[in-house]
Each structure stands twice: as structure tokens, then as C-alpha cells.
Chain A
Amino acid sequence: MRRLVWIPVTAGGLAFAAILLYAAISALKPGGEVLAVPIEWWPSRFEWHNLRLPFEETPFARYYANSVFVGVTVTLLNIVTCTLAGYSFSKFSYPGRNVAFVVVLATLMVPLEVIYVPLYALIYDLGWVNSFAGLIIPAGTSAFGIFLMRQAIDSVPDELLEAARLDGAGVIRTLLTIIGPLVRGPMAALALFIFLMNWDSHLWPLLVASDDDHRTLPVGLAAMQANNLGASGIPMMMAAAVLALLPTVVLFLSLQKRFVEGVAMSAGLR
């Protein structure tokens, strides 16, 4: 009886992963075979050249580098700002703390798409249109990240901190030497989460930075969909999509354990 459960569960998992496998194989098919009827599971030959198409026909390498740069910077910024704020909200008491925390959480409920209007005007006044500053700085912190880190640091026993304080450790040193090592899991979760979110960010980069020097992958992908690139279209789009999926999937695979632990620690709640 128990054994039988594994069959559908494993089959379901394989079905989930099959979509990605299908994407990967389609990206390597010769153009005519992608939508062949009946379906061609295995290409007659692997067109490795497809993977080079996006780089040859569009500034894909530049989009990629931009996405990596923006993603890494935004992630680092978030780790710093969210950890500091989470620490602050969790382990110190001062007037206004709870109000600030609730206000931060409330911003989760506002559709970003609308904030973009006044935000765009602000970024324009700052002279950050078509600049990395405009892409990075407004994304420098996140409500979800602060929430995550606060929950994680909440679970660090006060006695540990008290002991550190009696040992003469300052606020920052306590963070670096006591809390930091204990919340490495949640931090990894945060990093992965922010990087994923940023890698996905579509509308804001589109509005604020649209020249090729600053265009990121999602905007570039959308642009490639819209460009009239003729018969090479579908294999190239699939190749581009698969290449765009790769970093986050690889990152996820390598950080997976920590991610799950991290979420466990912070989302496990009281």
C-alpha cells in the first residue's frame, strides 16, 4: 500500500521536469522539427548551433552580463539591508519599531505596476534613467527579505546574544560572529530568492533602462519575441529561453539544501 504511493508521486515529478527537458531538447532541434506532428521526441540531429544563434543575432551576451551584474549587486545589497533590518526589528526595542515593520509588510500588498508611475518620475528626476543605478538602487531592499530575516533572527536565543554582550561584543560584532553563522541558511534562501526575483524582473527594467547597454534578459527576450527574425525564430527563442533559465536552475540546484533549511528556519514560525 505504502509502496504504491511512490509511483504517482515519482511519475508526477517526472512530468513536472519533462517540461524543462522538452524545452532543452526543443532548443537543440532543427527548425522544422520543433512543432512537428506527430511530435518528434528526439531530434534527427542535435543543432548545437542553435545555442549560438541568440549571441550571433542579438546582443544576448550583453543582456546576459547586465542581468548577472544587476542580479548580483541587488542580491548583495539585499543581504546587507534585509539582515540589518531583520536584526533591528527582531532583537532591539525602540519606539516605532512595530509600526515600521508593519508598514514594510504592507508594501507587499501594493501592486508594483502602479508604483512604477511615480517611481519612474522620481528616477527621472534623479537622472537615473538608462543607468544601472536606476535598476539597482530601488531594488536594494525587500519587504519579504526583511520578514524572512526577522523570523530567522527571532529564532536565535536571546541568551546567546546576552552572553555575547557580557563578553563585550558590540552590536555589529554580535551580528557577524554569533547571528551570522546561525542564519546562514536563511541568508542563502534570501539570496536565492532575491536573485530569482531580480532575474525575472521585467516591467521595471523595461521602463527605466531600454538601451542595449542596460537591457536585461527578460526585456531582451521580449524584444527578441517581437523582433522580426524570420524562420530561425522558434529554435532561437527556445535556445534563448533555455539559456536564460540556466543560471537560476543551476544556482537553485547548488543552494537547494540551504534554501530549504533557510525557509524552514524562518517560515517555521513561533
Chain B
Amino acid sequence: MAFVLAVAVAGTGALTACGGDDEGGDGNVTLTFWTHTHPPMIDLNKKLIAEYESKHPNVKIEYQQIPNTEFATKMLTSLSTGAGPDIINMDDNALRGEYFPKRLLSPIDPAGFGKSSVEEVEAEYVPGTLDGAKDAEGKLYGVPSEFNGTAFAINTKHFKDAGLDPANPPKTWQDVVDYGKKLNAAGHKQAFNFLYLHSGWYNQWFQTLANQTGGSILSQDGKTATLTSDGSKKALQLWVELARTSGIADPKTSSRDATAPYQDLASGVQSMAIVYPWSMDQIKGSNPDTYKDLAVVPLPQVDAAAQPVSRVYGYFWSVNAASKRKSEAWQFIAYLASARDRWLTDVSFVQPVKGWESSAPAKQIPFIDVIAQAYANGRYDQVGPHWNEVQDTIHKAVDEAVFDGKPVDQVLTEANEAVQRSIGS
């Protein structure tokens, strides 16, 4: 009973204290800041917030993390109703698919960065890397908190077990299949797997493959679904081949636990995986022993002779259009962005400023040249209206082709109709 009472008292305190985020006339500013959950990132955000608050005693930052599975929903609902935080950290798919068309965000304020024009801010970044935060008219809405290129990880110990040379990693997806069979023969049953988490993950793998096979989800003008094109069919066929027909791994045993996305690679069960810089950092933290055996190599291609194609995506700090503290918010973002060396050292988040790959902390990252290469070959995802529905459609199509074994032609024909319905209504 005493416990309940104590909780009740604590609760009523909070009850009356709520809604008090608007400051009085004492010049104090409270900024709210929301991100998804990625523990190393959260730690660094907290440190930077503390430093910023001690430098600016009149500023208070309220920092909240939203569970990844609910992140998109929660953000969209709160921003759409005019609520929501001053500062968000959001991926480029959501920005371009939902936030810009709905005018939920406010364009970048160069003054916050101590610059006189947006061009000056842009000039610091590698050309093209800010495209994920630009709307259809090319207006910029944020700066990257992380910029990720796609690479490939192999378990060198498994390779040696199978009599393969880790210095000669797979260059094509056909190599992945061939090596996979040898790995299987050496007892490594899960040679290569995709990660089957939420729709966003399905979509990113699909676009990674489609970038190479010449496939797409929508036509250039964004008005027509193109999932029945040859390139798109090839992309899904390649996925089915890698995951199902080649037999180099059973997709059904792939860990679907969002608790640790790269669990199978990290625990030494899986031999090869598509990875990002942050995933390597995470494995280093959770499974240092396996990490020592992993090598990061370029993403395998469909055609070894062609110009390699990779995929990039970014998360961007941006400011709520409804924020009453926009200039203070941009100042804080500028501070976060200025800590670029620490983002790299602590979290393996790349801020794609010019010359980042030759900075001192970048040199400390073992696979830096592979990652830099991935950025150079990278392409942002295709995004269109009602992108959540489109991603759900891709998710369903892949599930049916990979897990249920339905013919690729059939699932893509159905998916194409679904995408057309989504974008056309």
C-alpha cells in the first residue's frame, strides 16, 4: 500500500507539472529532441546535450527516444497534429516520402550554423550527400546525423574452414552462392542471409539489389509502378535465388529479432551479410570475439565488369515546422553536427563532410577505404508518395516469393497493382 501511495504522490506531481514546456519571461528556452533508439548514439547525444546545456545555461534540452518499431508512427502522428518535438532525427525515406510533402519541417536556417547562406552550409559536405534531405524543389531541410553506405562482411574464420581465401572475397552474387555452398559443406549452414525485420528493411534490400539489376519501384516521373519491369523481376529473382533456391541458408532460421539485428552474424552463426558502418560498431560491442574474425569488403555486384553500384541512406537532424524556437533549435543542431569526429569515434556515424575519410578518427576505422568506396558508388533510395504502403507491399511480395515460394512473376504483378493503387489515390 505504501508503495502505491508513493507512486500516486509521484504521479500527481508529474500530473500538475505537465505541459509546462513553454518558458516564462526569464529568457530560458526548452528544446525537445526526439530520436530512435540506438544505444551508442543515445549515449553520445546525452553527452553532447550536457555539454551544450553547460555552455548555454538558459537552454534546456528535453531528450526522448522512441522505440524503433513505433518511431515512424509516433513521429508522424505528433508532428501532423502540430505537437511533436522541436528537433527530430529522421531517415531520408520518411523525410522525402512523408515529411516534405506534408510540409511538416522547416527549411534549414544558415544563421544557426554561423553561415550567411544555405550554399555555405552545403559547401562543407561532399556533393550529393545532402540530397536525402532535399524536397522536390531542391530546398534543404536538415544536415546528416549519420550517412550510411552499404558494404559486405565476411567471417574469415568460416572462409578458412571452407578452404576459401578471405583475401579473395566474393565479387558477384554468383560468387556468394558458390562460396556459400563451400561454406555449407564446411558445416556453416547459414552462409548468407538477408535480415527480415520491418518493411523498411525489406525495402532497403530490394532497392540495393534493384540498383544493380536496373530495376525500380516507380517510373522516373513517379507516376507509374514499375515492379513488373525486367530489372525489378531480376532483383526479386536474385533475392529468391540467394535466399531460397540456392539453399546456402534457410531464410526461416534468420533471426527476426529486432533486439539485435545482426545477431546471427555477431554470434558467428552466419558467414556473410550486407552491413553498414554502425552494424560493425554494434557487433564490436556485443561480440568482440566474432568481430575479430570479420572482414568488411565491397558489396558484391550482379556484374563484376560493370561500374559497381551501392546504396546509401541517411538520418538527418531537422526542425519541426511548428516549433516556436527554430533559431535556437538550429544552433543546437549545428553543435551536434560540429562534433563530427566524436560521432565517428564513438558511434561509427559518418558525417559526410568534405575530406571526412582522411580525418584522424576515420583513419582509426579498419575498413575505412571499403566504406568510403561504398559512399562513392552509393545511390539514395527511390521514394514516392504514400511510401509506407509501398514498403508494406514490397514486404508482402518478398515474403510470398521467398518464404511461400510463389512465382516471382505472380507476386510482382500483384505488388505492381497494389503500388499503383497506393500512389494513385
Q: List A residues at the B interface (Cβ < 8 Å).
A: 65-66, 68-70, 72-73, 120-121, 124, 127-133, 206-207, 210-214, 219, 222-231, 233-234, 237
Contact = CB atoms under 8 A, between A and B. Distances in A.
A132 B11 contact: yes
Contacts of B111: none
Nearest 10 pairs of A and B residues by beta carbon: A131-B18, A230-B286, A223-B67, A233-B259, A226-B68, A127-B19, A69-B11, A226-B67, A69-B7, A226-B69
A124 B69 contact: no
B50 interface: no
A221 B62 CA distance: 22
Interface in B51-85: 62, 64-70, 73-74, 77-78, 81-83
B64 A212 contact: yes
A9 to B, nearest CB: 36
B260 A128 contact: no
B7 A210 contact: no
A87 B7 CA distance: 31
A120 B81 CA distance: 8
28 contacts: A72-B7, A73-B8, A120-B77, A121-B81, A124-B83, A128-B18, A129-B83, A131-B15, A133-B15, A207-B73, A210-B64, A210-B66, A225-B67, A225-B258, A226-B37, A226-B67, A226-B70, A226-B258, A227-B67, A227-B68, A227-B259, A228-B37, A228-B38, A228-B259, A229-B259, A230-B266, A231-B260, A231-B286
A236 to B, nearest CB: 8
B405 interface: no
Interface of B: 3-4, 7-8, 10-12, 14-15, 18-19, 37-39, 62, 64-70, 73-74, 77-78, 81-83, 257-261, 263, 266-267, 282, 285-287
A222 B257 contact: no
Contacts of A237: 259
Contacts of A72: 4, 7-8
A7 B78 CA distance: 55
B82 A124 contact: yes
A222 B68 CA distance: 9
B11 to A, nearest CB: 4
Nearest to B282: A228
A233 B263 contact: yes
A231 B78 CA distance: 33
A133 B69 contact: no
A192 to B, nearest CB: 16
Nearest to A221: B67
A207 B260 contact: no
Contacts of A210: 64, 66, 70, 74
B37 A65 contact: no
A237 B259 CA distance: 9
A185 to B, nearest CB: 22
A224 B67 CA distance: 8
Contacts of B7: 65, 68-69, 72
B14 A214 contact: yes
A72 B19 CA distance: 23
Contacts of B66: 210
Nearest to A70: B11
Given A124-B83, A210-B66, A233-B263, A129 B78 contact: yes
A68 B19 contact: no
A128 B14 CA distance: 11
